[in-house]
Structure 1
Amino acid sequence: MDMHRRRLLAGAAGLLAAPVARPALAQGRGGPIRLVVGFPPGGSGDLFARFLAEPLREELGRPVIVENRPGAAGVTAVEYFLRQPADGSTLMMHTGSSAVSGPITRRNPPYDPTRDFAWVALLSYAPFAVALNPRVPAQGLAELVALAKRPDSRLAYSSAGIGTTVHLAGEALKEAAGIEMQHVPYPGSGPAITDTINGTVAANIETYGTLLQHHRAGTLRIVATMDPDRTPIAPEIPTAKEQGFDVTAGTYNLLAAPVGTPAEVMQQVSAAVGRVMARPAQKAQLETLGITGIAESTPDQARQFVADEVAKWTPLVRRLGLAL
């Protein structure tokens, strides 16, 4: 497991034990907290925001309202969010696409993920996986790579869009394996998975938990996860790394506040989120989806995680010549 992920997953347990005063938000302005999401209802970012909203209301004593502002892989919501007051009344739920891949894949980045947000906490991590249409004659990555290297190969893989984290993961796998596979972008993970199931494309890269239901139903075959370790809910599926391809990738949910939000508000929200994510029911719900909830993340750790992800993926983006 990557070192910064080890620190986050194992890290500052004292955060949960420390007594936390609640006056800044609970008694302050009294109005609702808006939780901005850059994707339409039903997507993974939206679902995680709604997963968090009610228990966060219980912790903070104020309504938490999910506000969807879809468009441009989360960039539309970010541009709106950056205009909001830094008083704790507005937060934003980020995914890997809006936090990292969205800005670094654009010719003129509309924001800097390391400077333009006050990161509150890293909430979850979900590894990606490689799934094949069952008619593809490959039981593992080595066989898939051998097929892709054939002179007559027409293999293609689908993703949720150009410049998304799954697109970057697919390109990282191609680079590690020394193969060519056409990338077929879709406007979301749903149609990308559907066209892999019906055979329009051979492979799909998406979060492991999203693909697992199709794997178990026999409509797709997961041949590798992109986590350093096998996942506990399906330990029989090998990782890419143990099959000889050193690629680790996944997506995540992070919570951000506007830059300039008072330190006491940041600390209060971070501690409240930690208590929510430490609830056994919340953790169990995420585990069934193949998602690791993170209860110990501090603002400093979340900020460092984003910086590490930007540093990890920027060289690949430059090698690919991506400039959206």
Structure 2
Amino acid sequence: MIYLLLCILCSVLLFLAFRSYKTFKINTLQAVVVNYYICVVTGWITFGKTSQLSLISFQNPWLKYTLMLGAAFMLIFFLTALTTQLVSVTVGSLASKTSLVIPVIFSLYVFKTQQKAFDWINYAGIVLALVAIVLSTIKKEKTSSEKSQVSSSNGRNFLLALSVFLLSGLSDTSLNYLNYAHIRPETNAMFLIILFGVAALTGTLFVIFRVLTGKDKLLVRNLVGGIYLGIPNFFSLYFLLKALSAFNNDGAFIFPILNIGIILFSSILAVILFKERLSRMNQVGILVAILAMFCIAYQEIMKYIQG
């Protein structure tokens, strides 16, 4: 459980980092690309060993999947940003977060890695988790222009949201599968270093294109933003792999708890640190999230209470 809590903590720190970008006018794309390079450096300094270079071989089955997944990381970010800009923040957020249903389904019916037999209370918890995510992330549109954007180009908007939903879900499912079938404890660090390295190189192409076309400028503050994003980002994924291993790669348990845990603590910190106001619907969403966590993990909670 400690790895899951640490993963939630690091993910909440990511939220705080992203939240600060608006305040300091940091270019998110540039900061994210820098963050991937910082992830590589963090992983190498913390866990990297010269002997692990021997792991970089196409004979290792996980390497080719890692290369594809690393490129997908940047693509998912780009599509999520595009959905947020062209459709709405709410749609982009919901498409990303509700995608947890995909790794849950794969974990239950394909990998069959759940540690316990799921009963109706556990399944109800998964449904409640989706409801909680929807309720807690819905925000009011601020301008009439945003509303017109949502109603226009419906086909394009639907395809963007669907792409974010599918790619985010398949990305989490791929992590679950790789950790279950191929990655071993001794290869965790090298897996992440290569993963973030490929994402960094892919993202660099986006940045170069935008700079050369005059859409963006390289600024020092974007570099700084990427530095303080990169360290918690590396460890959020590292602790996710550890949590999956600790729970026998039970994605049906890990991903719902992880997502609603992040939303719960992020919402609390947003109110305390940034004085954000939660709507009545958001408040209901947080209460539903707490109920969902209990339903999904009630067997573990009862065992702990009973000693």
TM-score by length of 2: 0.23
Using structure 1 for the length normalisation, give the TM-score. 0.22
**Higher RCO, 1 or 2 (CA under 8 Å, sep at least 6)?**
2
> Which structure has more strand as a fraction of its residues?
1
- Structure with the largest fraction of helix: 2
